[in-house]
């Protein structure tokens, strides 16, 4: 059995085509590599699935809903699929800063008992 990654990045997408490439690239090309990227497609009709399915990176796991569940329920589907002890969220129209995941993991390790970390550049992490 493979060791789970340190971090699961969770995204739901519904017709995120115009923004998706930048969001996905910000996760998969960042310096924090010990991650899985769980993306739940919520019945997109704009080519989002084709774009995601064409990404050749074993860290990306695409889950396709049979019906549009809405964002919250789609994220719950994805959360159940995450295997890492830490989960970070990213919207399909957002970009993750390069050091975001490392900073959040370090803050959680240092604090020990935190349940959430919000990364705001120039501010404390907890």
The arrangement of strands across the sheet holding 35-41 comes to 60-64, 35-41, 7-13, 86-89
The model's pTM is 0.88
Domains and CATH numbers, the chain: 7-97 (3.90.550.10)
Residue 14 has pLDDT above 70, yes or no: yes
CB atoms within 10 A of CB 31: 8
The H-or-E segment that residue 63 falls in is strand 60-64
How confident is the model over 39-93, as pLDDT tens digits? 999 999 999 999 999 999 999 999 999 999 999 999 999 999 999 998 999 999 9
Residues present in the chain in total? 126
Spatial separation of the C-alpha atoms in residues 81 and 94, rounded to whole Å: 21
How confident is the model over 88-103, as pLDDT tens digits? 999 999 999 999 999 8
């Amino acid at each position: 059995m493979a060791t789970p990654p340190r971090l699961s990045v969770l995204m739901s997408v519904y017709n995120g085509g115009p923004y998706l490439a930048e969001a996905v690239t910000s996760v998969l090309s960042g310096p924090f590599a010990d991650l899985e990227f769980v993306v739940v497609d919520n019945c997109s009709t704009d080519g989002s699935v084709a774009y995601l399915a064409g990404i050749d990176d074993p860290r990306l796991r695409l889950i396709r809903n049979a019906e549009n569940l809405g964002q919250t329920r789609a994220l719950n589907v994805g959360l159940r699929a995450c295997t890492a002890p830490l989960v970070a969220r990213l919207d399909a129209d957002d970009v993750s800063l390069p050091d975001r995941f490392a900073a959040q993991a370090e803050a959680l390790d240092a604090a020990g008992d935190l349940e959430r970390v919000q990364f705001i550049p120039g501010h404390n992490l907890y």
